[in-house]
Amino acid sequence: MYQVLLIIHIVAGFAALFSSFVAILTKMGYDHHPTHLISGRIFCWSMTGVFLTSVALTLIRPNMFLLVIAIFSFYLTYHGWRMALNRKGEVETADKAGAWVMILTAGVMLVTGIFYHFGGNSFGIVLFFFGLIGGFLAGQNLLQFRKGGLKGKDRISSHQGSMIGATIAAVTAFLVTNISTNPAWLIWIAPTVFMVPLIFLANRKIYRKRKSAAKAGQD
């Protein structure tokens, strides 16, 4: 059973990796919405498969590290997906619940990361690093929900940022499986450092359109 789940996990991971790049290129490279929509859906379902198989694998062979990283990755996908579907930007219980699960998971990651680090386990840095990111993003989302939700360009920005973040998680999973570094935690963090600028570029494009539209309305 474990091997079957592992194969499904790997196949879902490759599907997520491929579809994520198609989705990004068809949005940021040349704006082709139908292809972006289809590839985005494939990515979300693939990441869901990765998450569910991670949980199942952890139940068979307990691995807290794998579980919390899976929750972190899936939250990015889940929030990004919700922002794509919820075009009105109305806050629903599902949005708040997802954010709170991530915040609780981030707390576990931060505490465990500290214990790992002082216990001589280098992966403590990985848990602490992603715990900070996950907690910050979920907390930021909760603040926005209290203000009435994310609407308009802010919703689109949140969607793109979360989906690119989930893509970084997929890239990281591929790299850590195939490349070894010294120290071992370096390959876990490197994709985030190098790919986060994509989020800023995507957001800049969104808000530039809003400014252009506003300026055109004034003319």
Cα-to-chain-centroid distance, residue 138: 11
Predicted pLDDT at 207: 65
Predicted pLDDT at 77: 95
The predicted model scores a pTM of: 0.86
Q: pLDDT tens digits, the chain, 219 residues: what are they?
A: 889 999 999 999 999 999 988 988 887 656 657 888 899 999 999 999 999 999 999 999 988 888 999 999 999 999 999 988 888 878 889 999 999 999 999 999 999 999 998 998 888 999 999 999 999 999 999 999 998 888 888 888 888 889 989 999 999 988 888 888 888 888 898 889 888 887 777 677 666 655 554 444 444
**Do residues 76 and 48 make contact, with C-beta atoms less than 8 angstroms apart?**
no
- Which H or E element spans position 130? helix 123-146
Rounded CA gap, 84 and 51, in Å? 20
Largest Cα separation within the chain, whole Å, is 65
SS (H, E, C) 167-205: HHHHHHHHHHHHCCCCCCCHHHHHHHHHHHHHHHHHHHH
Predicted pLDDT at 50: 94
